[in-house]
C-alpha cells in the first residue's frame, strides 16, 4: 500500500474510532479509498462486511454499540432527507431503559431510502417522526427518550415494542436516570407499588397501620381500619381508566358506604405529590367519632 493508501487507512481508522468500529462505503470512498481498494482490504481481512455498504474496520468483533451503529449506517441514504436513527426496543437498550434485546436492530428512517429489507435490521418508517424527536447518544443517532417510550407503547412486542411490564420498567428507569419523557409523563405504578407508597405515608405521618387487601362483603378493599370503619382505595391510572371502570369504582364506593364505611379514594399522583395532604385527609377520617390518632 502506498503513501496515499496509508493516509486513507489512517482516516478510515479515525472515522471508525468515533463510530464504534464501523464505517460505511460512502465514508470509505470519502476517506480516499477506491472501490477496488475496498475489495482488496476485504480480502486482506482489514475490512469486514457487516451489512451491505457497512464494514467493521480491523476486526469483525463488534460491541453492541457497534452493531447498533452498523445497522443505522446501513439505512442511511445519500440525500439529506434520508436520515436513519436507532429506535424502538434497540433505542431503549441504548438509553439503558431496558436490557439490549436479541434479534434484529430497530432503525427508524425519515425520508425515502434504498431497500425496504435488510438482514438483521427491522426498518420502521414512522410518519410522525420529526428531527426534534431525535438526538445522538454515544455517537449513535437515536430517537430521544420521550419518542422511544412512545414507540415502545405503540408497537407490538414482535415489532420492536414492549409489553406493559417492560414499558413500566422503562419509564421507571428513565426517572432513575433523569431522562425527560415530556411534561406530565410518569411511570405507571403497579398495585404493589401503590401499597408500599401509601404504607410509607402512614408510617412517616404517624397514622395507624391499616389492614391490607381485605375482603368486605365480597368486595376487596385496599386499606381498612376496621374499628374506625374507614377504607382507603388507591387508584393507578392504568387500572381505573375509562367510563366502565369509573362507574364500577363509584358503585363499589356506594356499596361500602351503605355498609357504614367512610371511603377515601386517592390517585397515584396524589400519593406521590401530595403526601402531607393525603395524610391529613386520612387522619380526619380516622378521628371522626372520637377516635384520636397517635
**DSSP code string of 218-242:** TEEEEEEETTTTEEEEEE-GGGS-S
pLDDT bucket at 90, cuts 50 / 70 / 90? very high
φ and ψ of 283, to 5 deg: -60, -40
Same domain, 81 and 3: no
**Which pLDDT tens digit goes with each residue over 63-80?**
999 999 999 999 986 544
The answer to whether position 86 is within a domain reads yes
Same domain, 157 and 101: yes
Exposed/middle/buried for 13, CB within 10 Å: 0-12, 13-18, 19+? middle
HSE, side-chain direction, 13 A CA sphere, residue 76: 20
The predicted pLDDT at position 291 comes to: 57
The predicted pLDDT at position 191 comes to: 65
**Which pLDDT tens digit goes with each residue over 78-89?**
544 458 999 999
The answer to whether position 291 is within a domain reads no
Same domain, 12 and 89: no
Q: Which of 238, 199, 89, 200 is nearest to 155 (CA)?
A: 89
Which of 153, 183, 213 finishes a domain?
183
Which of 17, 35, 60 finishes a domain?
60
Can you read off the three cell numbers belonging to residue 190?
403497579
* CA gap 164, 39 in Å, rounded: 47
3-state helix, strand, coil in the chain (%, to 5): 45, 20, 35
Same domain, 241 and 282: yes
Indicate the average pLDDT of the chain.
86
- The alpha helices in 76-190, defined as continuous H runs, are 88-94, 145-154, 164-177
| Domain hosting residue 206, numbered range | 191-286
**Rg of the chain in Å (alpha carbons):** 28
Determine if the pTM surpasses 0.85. Answer: no
The predicted pLDDT at position 110 comes to: 85
Same domain, 201 and 249: yes
Count of structural domains within the chain: 3
Same domain, 33 and 128: no
Q: Give me the torsion for CA of 235, 239, 244, 248, rounded to 10°.
A: -50
Amino acid at each position: 500500500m502506498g503513501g496515499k493508501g496509508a493516509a486513507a487507512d489512517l482516516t478510515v481508522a479515525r472515522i471508525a474510532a468515533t463510530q464504534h468500529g464501523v464505517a460505511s462505503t460512502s465514508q470509505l470512498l470519502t476517506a480516499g479509498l477506491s472501490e477496488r481498494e475496498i475489495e482488496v482490504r476485504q480480502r486482506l481481512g482489514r475490512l469486514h462486511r457487516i451489512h451491505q455498504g457497512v464494514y467493521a474496520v480491523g476486526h469483525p468483533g463488534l460491541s453492541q454499540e457497534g452493531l447498533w451503529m452498523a445497522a443505522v449506517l446501513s439505512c442511511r441514504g445519500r440525500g439529506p432527507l434520508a436520515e436513519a436513527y436507532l429506535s424502538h426496543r434497540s433505542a431503549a437498550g441504548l438509553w439503558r431503559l431496558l436490557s439490549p434485546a436479541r434479534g434484529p436492530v430497530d432503525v427508524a428512517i425519515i425520508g425515502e431510502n434504498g431497500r425496504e429489507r435488510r438482514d438483521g435490521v427491522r426498518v420502521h418508517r414512522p410518519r410522525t417522526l420529526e428531527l426534534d424527536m431525535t438526538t445522538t447518544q454515544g455517537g449513535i443517532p437515536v430517537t430521544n427518550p420521550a419518542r422511544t417510550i412512545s414507540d415502545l407503547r405503540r408497537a407490538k412486542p414482535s415489532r420492536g415494542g414492549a409489553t406493559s411490564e417492560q414499558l413500566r420498567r422503562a419509564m421507571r428507569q428513565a426517572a432513575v436516570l433523569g431522562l425527560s419523557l415530556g411534561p406530565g409523563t410518569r411511570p405507571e405504578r403497579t398495585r404493589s407499588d401503590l401499597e408500599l407508597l401509601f404504607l410509607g405515608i402512614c408510617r412517616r405521618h404517624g397514622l395507624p397501620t391499616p389492614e391490607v387487601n381485605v375482603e368486605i362483603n365480597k368486595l376487596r378493599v385496599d386499606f381498612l381500619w376496621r374499628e374506625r370503619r374507614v377504607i382507603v382505595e388507591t387508584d393507578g391510572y392504568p387500572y381505573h381508566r375509562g367510563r366502565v371502570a369509573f362507574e364500577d369504582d363509584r358503585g363499589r364506593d356506594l356499596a361500602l358506604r351503605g355498609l357504614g364505611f367512610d371511603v377515601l379514594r386517592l390517585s397515584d399522583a396524589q400519593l406521590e405529590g401530595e403526601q402531607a395532604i393525603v395524610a391529613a385527609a386520612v387522619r380526619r377520617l380516622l378521628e371522626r367519632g372520637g377516635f384520636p390518632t397517635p
